[in-house]
């Protein structure tokens, strides 16, 4: 019985990347996709985004990244907008490459994109209470996924800005987390600022677990 051909799928989690990472990824795409004989007529139809349009969008993102270094609100808003434009183009190009690589991994990787692994691997948690911390959909947001704690009825999450020298914050903001099946969104954070996150379990038997190890992240 012949082996079933599994279609190649590309990684499309560009919104989780920082604006600088999106800019770098798009720059690599400009080199790897446009002018690539595997994705040039007559071997394939023209890409859904032309090179000049894509380059102009990425150049705008590069300029916005530089302008947002000082942390100005208008500059950060513009950076978020230009990042989203480039992300949408990248997603279109990934799907274009998927459709025109002939399910040949060599052709697919020549595009510079990353294929989704067929082997599922479990990423270790960043602490005993926090599984992962990822950028949110908007600037100033963080997505916090917690680790299940035995005997927990719910959880508490707290965060704050560390003191000089990396000491723990002397002021925390906290919120209850009733369930951990999906990530908890923390909003209202200051972009380009380091925050420390901690979590603990609210126990069914009463009381709390110890606070987990603090985890630091720079907010985008």
Do 96 and 43 lie in a common domain? yes
Tokens 């978020």 — which residue?
Answer: 80
pLDDT of residue 165: 80
Residue 148 within a domain: yes
- Given a cut of 70, is residue 12 above it in pLDDT? yes
Expressed as residue numbers, the domain containing 157 is 130-218
Do 101 and 162 lie in a common domain? no
Percent of the chain with pLDDT over 90: 71
Residue 116 within a domain: no
Do 97 and 22 lie in a common domain? yes
Residue 8 within a domain: no
Residues 143-175: b if buried by 16+ CB within 10 A, e if exposed: bbbbbebeebeebbbbbbbbeeeeeebeeeeee
- Residue 201: give its domain's CATH number: 2.60.40.10
**Whole-number Å distance between alpha carbons of 197 and 182:** 17
**Whole-number Å distance between alpha carbons of 5 and 199:** 44
Do 150 and 101 lie in a common domain? no
Domains contained in the chain, number: 2
Do 102 and 140 lie in a common domain? no
- Given a cut of 70, is residue 109 above it in pLDDT? yes
pLDDT band at residue 122, thresholds of 50, 70 and 90?
low
**Whole-number Å distance between alpha carbons of 102 and 108:** 8
pLDDT band at residue 1, thresholds of 50, 70 and 90?
very low
């Amino acid at each position: 019985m012949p082996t079933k051909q599994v279609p190649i799928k590309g990684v499309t989690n560009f919104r989780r990347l920082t604006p600088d990472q999106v800019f770098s990824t798009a720059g690599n795409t400009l080199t790897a996709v446009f002018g690539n004989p595997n994705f040039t007529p007559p071997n394939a139809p023209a890409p859904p985004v032309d090179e000049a349009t894509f380059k102009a969008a990425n150049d705008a993102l590069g300029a916005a990244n530089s302008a947002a270094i000082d942390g100005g609100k208008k500059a950060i808003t513009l950076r978020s907008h230009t990042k989203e434009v480039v992300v949408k183009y990248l997603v279109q190009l990934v799907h274009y490459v998927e459709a025109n690589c002939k399910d040949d991994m060599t052709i697919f990787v020549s595009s510079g994109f990353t294929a989704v692994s067929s082997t599922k691997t479990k990423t270790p948690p960043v602490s005993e209470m926090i599984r992962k911390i990822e950028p949110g959909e908007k600037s100033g947001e963080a997505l916090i996924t917690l680790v299940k704690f035995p005997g927990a009825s719910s959880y508490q999450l707290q965060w704050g800005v560390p003191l000089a020298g990396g000491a723990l914050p002397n002021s925390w903001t906290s919120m209850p987390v009733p369930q951990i099946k999906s990530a908890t969104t923390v909003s209202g954070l200051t972009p380009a600022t380091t925050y420390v996150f901690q979590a603990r379990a609210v126990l069914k038997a009463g009381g709390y677990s110890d606070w987990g190890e603090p985890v630091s992240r720079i907010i985008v």
